[in-house]
């Protein structure tokens, strides 16, 4: 808003009402005008500079306000009318015209002319001359300007797009003249383009892009639902960035596409950036930066580096092994005949001995079993140029080489910048064992297991005579693992805890956490094997029960009523017992639980 000076006031008053109305509609939507009518009672809302610019663009149909021409009055000879004559008034035919405060009477020439209603000059909706005079033609109606289709000359944009895409900007949207496109969003730049770019800029000023794609090449048909793909799918399909959209869709958002136009209820899809991909050893100084437009001077350098990178792929033994592992990481095509589910096994290096006694290697499937071997499982030969040992490391997600001089420590696969358990695990391996938190990460044969603990707490295990084990089912939902491919795998993990009661502080202390996605007997046996392995590595002493080993300190393990957990613990103890001390038959698992298991009182009462 700005106050008008005397010259500005004169200029504004010289414009027609239709021109001012067009100018107002250019700036404010109808909804805003209806909501704030008091702002338009005077001329303070008019920006004189914007008005001049607007009139220059619309000079072809923006007339100046004109004063109506003087009304011609029919002149009669003085002697033609005898004022003293007694003419009957009812025989006269006339028109009465109001000219300001004057009343003008027009006497018609004959009885055949019909009388007309009173006409008030200056307030007539049709300000035309009353006689057929070429100098007094009918002025255009104000409404004729309001209903004309408004055209705006969009200006070429300086935005740098990939693939030489051209775009245009709206001249009447700027930081000094923002446009509110929704109730909550206001922009200072409006740009439109007709091709989907491979990369969207990140402008510093709030901006909106109108994407108009009439080209038939963008009509991607979705066969399963028999309709075309939505624009948000097209943007994600063409874009090199990583986007994720919500499943729900909002169809009640009113959007204003251009100044002076009515808002339109649109389909609303919010796309969120899923983050970048980076090497674990990449400096944080190169990550914590804001990305803006790609300058033209850098585009050739980036394209050249990408070409060199593509040529270098596969030229080194490690890169060849990593690429081959990535190619073979697709899902196994075998279908389980019993349940009809697709095999969830992963690629694994296997070997056999041929007829000449030579060991041969090939890539098989971890899901192959004696009762699930219908010949559809993954099986692929290993080319001569692929190092078998390096390929095996890639499948096991271990580092190809030690040190920080390589592109990535994780077998050639790329880990998310948001970091998962793999990256945390390898980062912890750089520290001393007593400072580590993640000590084990295993995802072989479809079982995921993450073991976490601190050495200082785990050493307390050897000072108490009982421990408590508890499993919280599905406490962690939708854990995302980026494994062989860039695909996301959604899992529901159970949390297993090893707890002791520490009398000096009168608190129950959790000395170990294990996260796993299975709870059968075999998985619990792996779990207790991992507990024993890590305990021995960190404390140099095994977890030992007094009944089964001479150096043991534990008398009992408090558990709930989960039988598979008891069976898994018993399987471990049969392997770690000292038979000469326990006098128990290691082949009979059912003999062991009574000597070390104690049921939780609350769980036992629930089952009675």
Task: Using the predicted structure, report yes or no on whether residue 574 has a pLDDT greater than 80.
Answer: yes
For residues 11 and 69, the model is more confident at 11
Give the list of residues 6+ apart from residue 217 with CB closer than 8 angstroms, or none.
none
For residue 250, the model assigns a pLDDT of 66
Question: What does the pLDDT read at residue 422?
Answer: 60
- The residues near 56 (Cβ < 8 Å, ≥ 6 apart) are none
H/E stretch holding 17 reads helix 17-27
pLDDT beyond 50 at 125: no
The rounded distance, in Å, linking the Cα atoms of 236 and 271 is 9
> Measured between alpha carbons, how far is 491 from 474 in angstroms, rounded to an integer?
9
Predicted confidence at residue 11, as pLDDT, reads 84
pLDDT over 60 (residue 85): no
Compute the average pLDDT of residues 473-481.
51
How far is it, in rounded angstroms, from Cα 555 to Cα 323?
52
Is the pLDDT at 208 greater than 90, yes or no?
A: yes
At 608 the pLDDT is 52
In the block, tokens 């006689």 appear at 131
**Highest-scoring range by mean pLDDT, 243-257, 529-543, 559-573:** 529-543
- Give pLDDT, residue 228: 74
Distance CA 41, CA 327 (A): 71
* Long-range contacts formed by 136-141: CB under 8 A, 24+ apart: 136/69, 136/72, 139/66, 139/68, 140/63
What is the Cα gyration radius of the chain? 43
- Name, in order, each residue with C-beta under 8 angstroms of 17's C-beta and a sequence gap of 6 or more: 65, 142
Nearest to 420 by CA among 450, 445, 454: 450
**Cα–Cα dist 255/235, whole Å:** 19
423-432 confidence digits (pLDDT tens): 666 677 777 8
Assign 148 a pLDDT band (cuts: 50, 70, 90): very low
- In this predicted structure, what is the pLDDT of residue 484? 45
What share of the chain in percent tops pLDDT 70? 63
DSSP code of residue 444:
G
pTM over the 0.85 mark: no
Residue 222 has pLDDT above 80, yes or no: no
* Separation in Å, CA 375 to CA 125, 155, 207, 353: 90, 64, 57, 20
Least confident of 176-190, 295-309, 498-512, 584-598: 295-309
**What is the mean predicted confidence (pLDDT) over 517-527?**
86
Q: What is the pLDDT of residues 329-372, one digit of tens each?
A: 888 888 877 777 888 888 999 998 888 888 889 998 888 876 66
Angle between helices 17-27 and 48-57 (to 10 degrees): 110
Cα distance from N-terminal residue to C-terminal residue, the chain: 80
Sequence-ordered list of residues with C-beta below 8 angstroms from that of 258, at least 6 positions apart, any chain: 152, 170, 190
**Quick one: pLDDT band at residue 135, thresholds 50, 70, 90?**
very low
Q: How confident is the model at residue 531 (pLDDT cuts 50, 70, 90)?
A: very high
Looking at residue 412, its pLDDT comes to 39
> Would you say residue 377 has pLDDT above 50?
yes
Neighbours of 494 (CB within 10 A): 17
pLDDT tier, 279 (very low <50, low <70, confident <90, very high otherwise): low
Q: What is the mean pLDDT of residues 190-208?
A: 85
Q: Hey, which of 61-70, 116-125, 217-226 has the most confident mean pLDDT?
A: 217-226
CA–CA distance, 373 with 365 (Å, rounded to integer): 10
Share of the chain above pLDDT 90, in %: 7
pLDDT band at 410 (very low <50, low <70, confident <90, very high): very low
**Mean pLDDT across the chain:** 73
DSSP state of 605: H
For residue 409, give the nearest of 278, 280, 277, 283 by alpha carbon.
280
8 Å CB contact between 543 and 532: yes
Give all strands (DSSP E) within 194-341, no chain letters: 207-211, 221-222, 227-228, 243-245, 250-255, 264-268, 271-273
Per the CB < 8 A criterion, the answer to whether 268 and 250 are in contact is yes
Mean pLDDT is lowest, of 189-193, 299-303, 534-538, for 299-303
pLDDT digits (tens, 9 = 90+) for 234-267: 887 776 667 777 655 667 788 888 888 888 888 8
d(Cα 374, Cα 337) in Å, to the nearest integer? 9
Burial (CB < 10 A; 0-12, 13-18, 19+), residue 385, is exposed
């Amino acid at each position: 808003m700005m106050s008008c000076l005397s010259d500005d006031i004169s200029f504004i008053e010289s414009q027609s009402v239709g021109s001012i109305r067009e100018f107002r509609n250019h700036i404010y939507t109808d909804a805003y005008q209806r909501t704030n009518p008091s702002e338009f009672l005077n001329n303070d809302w008019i920006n004189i500079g914007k008005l001049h610019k607007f009139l220059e663009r619309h000079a072809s149909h923006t007339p100046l306000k004109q004063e109506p021409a003087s009304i011609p009055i029919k002149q009669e000879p003085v002697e033609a009318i005898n004022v003293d004559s007694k003419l009957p008034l009812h025989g006269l035919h006339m028109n009465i015209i109001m000219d300001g405060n004057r009343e003008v009477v027009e006497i018609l020439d004959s009885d055949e002319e019909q009388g007309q209603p009173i006409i008030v000059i200056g307030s007539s909706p049709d300000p035309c001359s009353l006689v057929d005079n070429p100098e007094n033609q009918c002025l255009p109606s104000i409404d004729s300007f309001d209903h004309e289709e408004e055209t705006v000359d969009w200006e070429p944009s300086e935005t740098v797009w990939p693939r030489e895409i051209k775009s245009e900007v709206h001249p009447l949207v700027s930081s000094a003249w923002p446009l509110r496109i929704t109730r909550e969003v206001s922009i200072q730049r409006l740009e439109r383009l007709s091709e989907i770019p491979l990369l969207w800029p990140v402008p510093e000023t709030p901006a909106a892009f109108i994407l108009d794609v009439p080209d038939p090449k963008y009509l991607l048909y979705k066969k399963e639902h028999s309709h075309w793909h939505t624009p948000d799918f097209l943007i994600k399909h063409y874009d090199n960035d990583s986007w994720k959209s919500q499943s729900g869709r909002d169809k009640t958002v009113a959007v204003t596409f251009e100044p002076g136009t009515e808002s339109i209820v649109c389909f609303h899809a919010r796309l969120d950036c899923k983050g970048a991909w980076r090497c674990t050893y990449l400096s944080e100084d190169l990550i914590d930066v804001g990305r803006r437009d790609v300058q033209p001077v850098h585009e050739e350098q980036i394209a050249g580096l990408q070409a060199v990178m593509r040529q270098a792929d596969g030229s080194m033994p490690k890169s060849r092994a990593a690429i081959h592992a990535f190619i073979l990481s697709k899902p196994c095509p075998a279908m389980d005949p019993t349940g009809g589910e697709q095999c969830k096994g992963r690629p694994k290096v296997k070997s056999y001995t041929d007829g000449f006694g030579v060991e041969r290697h090939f890539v098989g499937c971890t899901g192959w079993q004696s009762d699930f071997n219908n010949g559809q499982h993954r099986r692929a030969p290993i080319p001569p140029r692929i190092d078998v040992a390096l390929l095996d490391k890639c499948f096991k997600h271990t580092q190809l080489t030690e040190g920080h001089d390589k592109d990535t420590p994780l077998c050639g696969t790329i880990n998310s910048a948001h970091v998962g358990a793999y990256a945390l695990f390898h980062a912890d391996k750089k520290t001393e064992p007593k400072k580590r938190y993640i000590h084990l990460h295993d995802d072989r044969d479809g079982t995921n297991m993450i073991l976490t603990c601190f050495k200082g707490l785990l050493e307390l295990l050897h000072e108490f005579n009982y421990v408590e084990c508890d499993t919280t089912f599905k406490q962690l939902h939708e854990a995302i693992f980026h494994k062989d491919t860039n695909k996301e795998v959604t899992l529901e993990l159970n949390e297993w805890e090893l707890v002791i009661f520490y009398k000096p502080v009168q608190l129950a202390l959790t000395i170990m956490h294990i996260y796993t996605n299975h709870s059968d007997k075999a998985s619990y046996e792996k779990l207790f094997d991992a507990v024993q392995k890590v305990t021995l590595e960190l404390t140099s002493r095994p977890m030992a029960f007094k009944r089964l080993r001479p150096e043991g300190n534990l008398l009992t393990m408090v558990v709930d009523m989960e039988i598979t957990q008891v069976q898994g613990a018993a399987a471990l103890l049969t392997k770690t017992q000292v038979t000469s001390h326990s006098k128990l038959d290691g082949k009979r698992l059912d003999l062991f639980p009574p000597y070390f298991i104690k049921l939780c009182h609350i769980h036992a009462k629930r089952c009675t």
